[in-house]
Structure 1
Amino acid sequence: MDGNDAMKLLVPTAAFAVGVGLLLYFWPRPPKVFLTRERKRVQVSDVVELSHDTKRIRLSFGSKKMILGLPVGKHIVIYAPNPPSAISSKSWNGKPDQDKGKPEIDRKYTPVTGNEASGYVDLVVKIYRPGTVKMPDGKEMKWEDGGKMGLYLDSKKPGDWIEIAGPLGVNEYLGQGTFKLPGKTVTVKHVGMLAGGTGLTPMLQVVQAALRDASDACNFYLIYANKTDNDILCRDMLDDLARNSKGRFKLYYTLDFPPENWAHKTGFITAD
């Protein structure tokens, strides 16, 4: 083979190799996952007050190319120091300290964003501050100390760090109406949900994931109970989901103490 023949063979081969290299370089790669079941630090990047006692806290992973990696239906755990007064007195809110004087506490949270969000995760946190709250019926609820984790997260500002771990939980929504439960999977066409107060977030997580999938035909029905209309979490988000669901998500509010001209349900959720 002379030099010209070698060159004719070499040029296409090199061009092919370059093309393959460029294809591999630009080929979409799956995003990195933040949650690995190990304890990790995340940075508070934004805090928004949703109401007088509720905040949306955004936690950054440090990379916009990273996703949370939380299966739908599961949750994370947040760590915080146990307040010194709880450790020394072994009591909280006038009762024995449920954390039994441990130096550190942990609480489980279900985020309101999932793997569709890159680089961050959002938590909606209700804060129970010390003091006396007067209910519409005249009864008073007294919080001597407040809620430990809520107060800890309430103190955090953009730039602060907290520690989380996950994923945790035994149930998972696989999509298309299929739930993975301990020892079995169940597929349904209709899902009824009951939630009160901050118990909304696990339900919201599943509904959001199902409605993002246009091929998921499962229907969801949520009865969401609160004491007053000011206690309703994520109301704008819920209303938008119901309005844009094409009938797949039916939402029913009920209040213990409804305001005048309340157009929804009233009363407690009972077995009946």
Structure 2
Amino acid sequence: MRFQMDHLHALVAVLEEGTFEAAARRLRVTASAVSQRIKAMEFTAGQVLVQRVTPVTTTAAGDVVLRYARQMQLLEADTVRALDDDLMHAGRRSMALAVNADSLATWFLEALAALPPTVGVVFTISREDQEHTTSLLRAGTVMAAVTSTPEPVQGCRSEKLGIMRYRAVCSPAFRARWLEGDASPSRLAGVPVVNFDRRDRLQDDFFRRVVGHDLDAPRQFVPTSADFARAVVLGLGWGLLPEQQCLAEIARGELIELAPHSPIDVPLYWQRWTLDSPLLDDVTDAVRSTAAARLHAL
């Protein structure tokens, strides 16, 4: 079974862009040409590889081929990088990564910015909860991920990055309105709490650990890290913020810590393909170095 490189590029483009038309614009061919390349791959594989919905998604067989396609792209980029001194067109290669929202908002972009210009790659970042980024690795959607799962996904290796420490906080106005001036955790039942989305269990885990029973409260859902922090500062509810987003505000009196001796520590790991790639090695080194400087030791 052999796949042509232009067909593999078409598969990646369709999955990243979401439609055949957008993939065609990226590849500078017609949508019909993209469709023909995907059909040729499906004929070679003897299976349907993509579900032709909007956005386009992979089948189980498509996940396998997508992983192979990304590996081939990475090897191709490494080869171009080794042969081409000016690296101008290597910069068109895309590396797909998965990162949780809080890491993305507080430290991860610093790692990418620290890479030297000679790395010659652009990034496609999927924002996903740290407990679910491994699913993107398993599907072949990304080449590496920040995750809270230490066990390596098949075909990947895992290493410790550090601990992201969260503090339970509220604004002075929230304390005055909802807690009658008493910021003890036991008073949080029944008052508004901010959640990132419906899968966010951090506030519930904190409350259960500190108070001893489940949290029953009205919830505000704010699905971006920076806006989540701003919602807490503005008094829309209490919530847990990474130290990078709240320690300065606590020092200035803009936020009040609800349980100073009970932070929540979330261990983070870097999982990446075991593929031998200088390009992926460079990214891993940058992530490792920045995490060591910005996270607590694990």
TM-score (norm 2): 0.21
Structure 1 or 2: more helix by fraction: 2
Larger Rg: 1
Structure 1 or 2: more strand by fraction: 1
Task: Using CA pairs under 8 Å that are at least 6 residues apart, name the structure with larger relative contact order, 1 or 2.
Answer: 2
TM-score (norm 1): 0.23
